[in-house]
Amino acid sequence: MTKSQLIEIVTEKLAGSLSKKDAELIVNTLFRDMGDALKSGDKIEIRGVGSFKTIARGKRIGRNPKTGEKVEVAEKKAIFFKPGKELKERVDN
Question: Domain range spanning residue 28?
Answer: 1-41
- Does residue 84 share a domain with residue 56? yes
- Does residue 29 share a domain with residue 51? no
Q: How many domains does the chain have?
A: 2
- Does residue 92 share a domain with residue 68? yes
Mean pLDDT, contiguous 10-residue spans, the chain (93 residues): 94 89 95 96 96 96 95 96 95 91
| Residues 30, 28: Cα–Cα separation, whole Å | 5
Q: Kindly report, residue by residue over 35-53, the tens digit of the pLDDT.
A: 999 999 999 999 999 999 9
Q: What is the pTM of this model?
A: 0.78
| Residues 35, 47: Cα–Cα separation, whole Å | 18
What is residue 71's predicted lDDT score, i.e. its pLDDT?
96
Q: Which residues of 32-63 are buried (b: 16+ CB within 10 A; e: fewer)?
A: eeeeeebeeeeebeeeeebebbbeeeeeeeee
| Structural contact between residues 53 and 38, judged by C-beta atoms closer than 8 angstroms | yes
- Does residue 62 share a domain with residue 36? no
- Does residue 53 share a domain with residue 17? no
- Does residue 84 share a domain with residue 50? yes
- Does residue 50 share a domain with residue 92? yes
- Does residue 54 share a domain with residue 65? yes
